[in-house]
Structure 1
Amino acid sequence: MDPHSSAQDVHRCDLCETTIVHSYCDFCQVNLCKPCIIDHIFDEYEKHKIVPFQKRRSTLIYPKCGTHPHKKCEFLCKDCNNIFVCSSCVTSEQHRNHKLEEIAEVYKTKRQTIEKEADQLENHTFPTVKEITRDLENQLANLDGGYEKLTTTMSKQGEQLHREIDIIINKMKTEISEIKMKHRDILQKHLDEIKQIQSLIKQTLLAIEEIKNSNEVSSSIEFNSKILEFSKLPPKVQISLPTFIPKQIFNYNLYSLFGHIAPLSTTPEKNILSLIQPNILFRELLDEPELVATIQTGYKGLHSVCQNKDNIWLSGLDQDIKCFNHNGSLLKTIKIKPNHWPLDIVEDTDGHLIYSCCKSGTVNKVKNGQIEELIRFQDCMPGMLCITSTGDLLVSIMINDGEFETQFKVVRYSGSTEKQIIQFDEEGKPLYSGNAHTKYITENRNNDICVADHGAGAVVVVNQDGKLRWRYTGHPSTKTINPFEPWGITTDSQSRILTRDYKNHCIHILDQNGEFLRYIDNCDLEYPSDLCEDNNDYLFVCEWKKGNLKKIKYSKETPSFELVM
């Protein structure tokens, strides 16, 4: 058997390459047979360490000392960043009184750690990765078949729709044929009547001609006039052709009729055991929220707020967008074109202000003090805005074609390019009410898209693929007298959702799954409108009628433990 080509062969000597191995040089790391041991150590190199083959790699090889080249390092100096030191270094002035550890002990501990890690990688991590790899390869192998099945199903739906349309068209053609026959019968009846009268007139004219050519007195005297009889002719018949009045077809209407494509679901499965890390800050809700500050903005009808770490931007029922610092001092004012007051304002990831305008049907960007048109809408009206964690822009849009019921949709843009439309649930039903009230929008930390649907009296939450997760329609409580009317909406660092209840003068706090947690109702809020959070989870609330902006503390930091995936 070839000793170099067979993995099943016994170990051979590295020098002669034929004899079965007997010993091992732990320093040079070579296999040796008995005869070759003498040849290997013949150079009298003092570092050779010959051990039985079964005990190979049992001798520790210590590093040479950089200061004393003829000595090996047996210690680690903890005070000098774990550098290797020899016995001479230990007694030197540089390392005197330093904390030292024996390399052998550190090595033993590290080897145990390495063995545990190797065991974890070999018996847990690698099999898991291998399984994921196999699963992904299977998914890729089945991808074409799955999509072919999807398109086949869609084609069958199209064929069915075509058949239904053909049936409708054939039925209408039959109706037209029947109407045509009735039309023909009416015209033919009138034609027969007229032809009969025409024949009688011809006969009368012939009789008159005979009388005119006759000399007989009696025929002229006995003639009776037919003028009166023929003057009463039947009315002239004008029958207009039937008309076909096609019903207007809109893309969104036909799309919901035909069906819809459920988006990709990309929720990752957790395959690796979580590690526990202490001292992760958790913000616990306060029993009694605290009013920290009240800023008088000068607005009448304050309805929109956004902020960054330095500034607070506000808009209301006039042409100005105002910028305040967190102490309430006015820093700057941006003038908007007359009668083009901003409906909503947000700040993008580059720090530029973006606002929507109903009057012009545009979304605009304020850059270097200049206003640039970002998106223009033709047959719909832009509403509220949100900048996502990925820098995309979400816009709530009202569709009103003048004939059908008003509809709303949420559209995701990258710059001015449309990326996603969120409008219908899995059954093809509208996600949002057709009520013309504006619908505030925000993105949660888990990438859910949250909409305050004032017209439906509900908070509607979908995941990032546009699939409905849940609806919240208020909480039965003696604290709320009027119907739940959500307007402004925001989220905090704990993925809690906060929405204002306009006529009940309070804020509802929900968890990320839509469960009611508590109210904020003790800060003298009057007709709250828009909301936003700063990086420290302070809540800023617009008061619509008074034009005040209130800063509220409603949570506090507490040490906790968090699972890190």
Structure 2
Amino acid sequence: MMDPRTSAQDVMRCDLCETAVVQMHCDTCLVNLCKACVGEHTISVGSKKHEIVSFKLRKAIPIYPGCVSHVKERCEMYCNQCDIPVCITCITANHHLGHELSKIAEFFYKRKEIIIKERNELKETISRTYQYIASDVQNRMSQLKKEYADLSIAITKHGEDWHREIDKRVKKLKAEVDEMKNTQLQTLQKHLDEINKKNSHIKNELDSVDVVVDSNDISKLLSVKSNLHIYKTLPQKLEPNLPKFIPGKNFEEELYKLFGALSSSSLTSDKHGYSMKTTQKSPEAGSSPPVKQLLDEPETVTTIDTGYGGLKNVVCLSDEEIWTRGSDTIMKLYSINQGSLLKSITLKSGNITKDMTVTKSGDLVYTDTRDRTVNIVKNEKIEELIRLQNWRPHGVCSTSSGDLLVIMDSDDDKQTKIVRYSGSTEKKAIQFDDNGKPLYSSGGYYRYIIENRNLDICVADSKAKAVVVVNQGGKLRFRYTGHTPAPNNKFYPLGITTDSQSHILTADLNNDCVHIIDQDGQFLCYIDCGLSYPWGLCTDTNDNLFVAQHENRQVKKIKYFK
């Protein structure tokens, strides 16, 4: 009969009593136990802190390596001095006498923890940093191509300017040549006319003399008066003195100096140019923010009544003031603590703005779709910043670098793209994914935009019913289309914002709540707090959430972190 303690067909038995079925496991000692033997085990080896778990939840049992010196033996110990696994025979043979030994299982778990830690660092820090660096280099290459193209255009334009000036100079010199030629020809023509006149007189006089000579009439002969002395005085000889064209000396050398030259190009290397990042954050972001925990039940801190017919946007100017806008031509600044109106700005075009943002310097920027402009408010005066042709601006946000990101639709409502601007200069357009398909829906729907702390560009696309996230270079990272199980109605994202933890928050108009997802698109939780038609969102520097509620005209300030 087979021994139940060793039979492969039998269930596993307790390592202490060797009879009862295994139910528990000590992860510290790697011992299988029945429930009855748990107490005896912990008392018998009382100096250790035992981690007793259900047998099903035990850590994976390590596979012991074979001994190099003793083929049939398995190594259950590890010599820390020799840095090799050893078996019992190695130890009893005094091959490692006086050496510090440890159980190979303990070494295994410690080594595994180190490898897991290194793997996590490689995944969470080093890999992300290399992705950021690759994206940064790619962006620099794109910018470099654009700047070199601009340089070539500048040289071509300068050459065209020179061609125009040279053509003007050539034309002027040729006109002077024509004038000199005409003057000399006129003088020579006058001189020729006088000579021809004398020739005519000489011929007439010769004819008269011939008549007299052929005649025997003495009276005619006496009447002849000779003008020979007059004709002996010959006319002046006129020698034209032609002008000469004298080209400038050292033509090529002077041309190079006057036209202009290129400075040398170089690639400098800065070994301190990049730093490790746990997230792909902005260079201005400094060190990583402390990790915050979400509240189980978010709290409403205060409510501000704005008086709009339909409230749509809220933007933090500071931790004390918010800009708001609704379905009219007025943008209002409110005190958060007092709830009072501080100032209002009326759009000079008489149109309704589609979106607004606040720059790093504290200036308000808004889009005017009908006027095709992006405008900035400085010292309460409105200035046109960008004017589009064949495109209409919608969503806008200010980035950590000071650039503006603008969502725009084509006039025929068939195309939508994001354009990055530095001031009024276009830097980059984002429109298609790697397969050439549009990233965003087109047509007259609401789309709002925000830059995440890791420099991702996040768009709430209401028509597509999705949050579309691309990296800084415009490569699609993910689409969030709501959470399963979903709320009662179809996900309808509108306002969008982010916080210090790189969470993405978007207002869900259909379900009267706000979705919070992490930077990789994983759903975290909902915020409702009795919201009614939430539309616009923003967060302050303390990660308080402000929600613009469309129907009741109120802005709610909500605390959602511990």
TM-score (norm 2): 0.49
Identify, as 1 or 2, the structure richer in strand: 1
Task: Name which one, 1 or 2, has greater alpha-carbon Rg.
Answer: 2
Structure showing greater relative contact order (alpha-carbon pairs closer than 8 Å, 6 or more residues apart): 1
TM-score (norm 1): 0.48
